[in-house]
Amino acid sequence: MKLSRAVWLLAVVVVMFSGSVAAQEKTLRIGMSVANIPRTTGQPDQGFEGIRFAAIPLYDSLTQWDLSRADKPSQLIPGLALSWKVDEQDRRKWIFKLRQGVRFHDGSVFNAAAVVWNVEKILNKSSPQYEPDNARVATMMPSLRSARRIDDYTVELTSVEPDSFLPFNLTNLFMASPAQWERKYAALPASMEPTERTRQAWLAFARDASGTGPFKMTALVSLTLAEGLRIAGFGKFKDNSFNVRERLDLARNGDYWDPKRRPRIEKLAIYPIPEGDARIAALLAGQVDWIEAPPLNELGLLRQKGFNIYANSQPHVWPWLLSFAKESPWRDLRTRQAANLCVNREALKQQLGGMMDVATGMVESGHPWRGNPQFRIRYDPDEARRLMSQAFYSETRPMQVKVQMAAFGSGQMMPVLMNEIIKQNLKACYFDVQFEYIEWNHLNNNVRAGARDASAHGANALNFSFASMDPYLGLARFVDSRAVAPTSQNWGGYSNSAIDELLARARNTFDTGRRDAILAQLHAALVDDAPLLWVAHDVGTRVMSPRVKGVVQPHSWFIDIATMTMD
């Protein structure tokens, strides 16, 4: 049951902000839209919002996204790797030249051995640092198989097949300090069961994390239910043993290796505030300086109060993933195309105060991957009803749809309002839609389990937003037949040999222009086959105090806090 706004405000003010660093000078306080501080081990949970606030500030990856521009899409740039190239004699191998002079927050040196260690933490089940929660990120780089040190600052990464997508994939592998973890591991009794010892070492590391990023961890504050405080929205989906990570405190890393990104803000305090009204209340009360995903009906008030509202087109897709299990009605192309024709996206955009872009595929006109789909996604309920009638559905015999969704979460925008509007749209086209609400992180896990898994509870659709800035994330992971869950994130079990062949050609094409041409063919074929119900692209709406300066809202799910300042 949802708590009232008054109780939420009490929870926010009395519990979350008591004893915090909130009153300290030049502390930027951020209200996230998720229910828990993401894991701080370097491989966060809580979707890409987890990466935004618990990875990018603390850690670096070999390759990363340029977040310095608001006027063009973010590009892949060097991170801890200065350069990379494929081995022309064996295109399964990539050679990465590493940045020298970089140290982890604990003072240990970043080098090729550290890269090998971090690859093995997600791939090598026999290594002591391997841990299943960290290893989930391997689904984001499914071809990566091993890493080998060539010299102190050169490393060879090997994939199972030639894969031109790999440098993009590596933006999701964040470098944690091997030395810091090994100290935590050594402090535990050698007599412990090995997997439990590894788990406890990572828990200890999470409370005292060490990366190479522009901010260092100073505290990870937890609130336990055993202390007598149960806050709905944090604990309502959990059992009595749930331990909510209440606040993450970070401080500037004055020795950060990139002078342009050496922070000028002294401290960060990051809070999970999943309920939109509570985020607004905290902002208006001066408890936070920045909130993610504000309730859009409050934007006018916030402008009047002098807050700055930021938004920009993002490589983001807000769809329904559709099930292709044997009994699923979505196996009929007519039902998939009908659903895509029955959603009034422009009206939905108006309901959201203009804070979305209309989605007619993974990417839109002008993008190099758009191609020329023959099926034109638009609002045409008459054509939708014609298709549904051909598929033997009617007003008296509607198609039964069960959708798993979360009421909040990373990139989910305003899911309750949006899904209810879509439900009403689809009702006019002979669809009978029911929803099952689950917690966002559980939904994220269910994507990896698949539509055939018991966790689906009979759902034949799943509302799951995702990033689309690279070929694998945007075009491959939900439709590649080799990525069917639990191998990766093809939740619905979609399989199309023509799509697979185009994906294989794109992976094996290392020239950007030629690869883009293949990806355009792939995208057009996807839109024509309609394996998703496409609805919206997020614009990343966030609200900040006028005290926060130097904000660049890039065309990205991510944002660079390191370059901001505060009055």
DSSP codes of every residue in 191-224: TS-HHHHHHHHHHHHHHT---SSSEEEEEEEEEE
**Domain assignment of residue 226, yes or no:** yes
Asked if 2 and 232 touch (Cβ cutoff 8 Å), the reply is yes
Both 426 and 306 in a single domain?
A: no
Both 117 and 42 in a single domain?
A: no
Both 48 and 71 in a single domain?
A: no
Give residue-wise pLDDT tens across range 179-221.
999 999 999 999 999 999 999 999 999 999 999 999 999 999 9
Both 71 and 138 in a single domain?
A: yes
Give the residue from 449, 423, 426, 452 showing the smallest Cα distance to 436. 423
CATH number at residue 550: 3.40.190.10
CA distance 54 to 44: 7
**Domain assignment of residue 193, yes or no:** no
DSSP lists the bridge partners of residue 548 as 566
**Domain assignment of residue 184, yes or no:** no
**Domain assignment of residue 420, yes or no:** yes
Both 329 and 291 in a single domain?
A: no
Both 554 and 519 in a single domain?
A: no
Q: Which of 56-65, 239-248, 494-503, 520-529 has the lowest mean pLDDT?
A: 239-248
Both 364 and 412 in a single domain?
A: yes
If one counts the domains in the chain, the total is: 3
CATH number at residue 463: 3.10.105.10
Both 521 and 377 in a single domain?
A: yes
Reduce the DSSP state of residue 268 to 3 states and report it: strand
**Domain assignment of residue 497, yes or no:** yes
Q: pTM value? A: 0.89
**Domain assignment of residue 422, yes or no:** yes
Give the residue from 159, 154, 179 showing the smallest Cα distance to 170. 159
> Of all helices (H) and strands (E), which one includes residue 403?
strand 399-405
- Quick one: average pLDDT of 132-139? 93
Both 282 and 410 in a single domain?
A: no
Give residue-wise pLDDT tens across range 372-398.
999 999 999 999 999 999 999 999 999
Give residue-wise pLDDT tens across range 446-471.
999 999 999 999 999 999 999 999 99
- Quick one: average pLDDT of 287-294? 95
Both 29 and 96 in a single domain?
A: no
**Domain assignment of residue 185, yes or no:** no
CATH number at residue 160: 3.90.76.10
What's 456's DSSP letter?
A: G
Buried (b) or exposed (e) across 470-494, using 16+ Cβ within 10 A?
Answer: bbbbbbbbbbbeebbbeebbbbbbb
Tell me how far apart the terminal alpha carbons of the chain are, to the nearest angstrom: 40
Q: Which tokens hold the place of 53?
A: 């606030």
Q: Quote the distance between the C-alpha of residue 455 and its chain's center.
A: 20
> What percent of the chain is modeled with pLDDT above 70?
92
Instruction: For residue 458, give its domain range.
Output: 316-537
Both 150 and 256 in a single domain?
A: no
Start-end of H helices in 305-451: 333-342, 345-351, 381-390, 415-427, 440-449
Both 159 and 82 in a single domain?
A: yes
pLDDT band of residue 4 (cuts 50, 70, 90) is very low
Angle at 485 between CA 482 and CA 488, to 5 degrees: 65
Give the residue from 63, 101, 67 showing the smallest Cα distance to 83. 63
- Characterize the bridge pairing of strands 542-544 and 399-405: unpaired
pLDDT band of residue 3 (cuts 50, 70, 90) is very low
**Domain assignment of residue 197, yes or no:** no
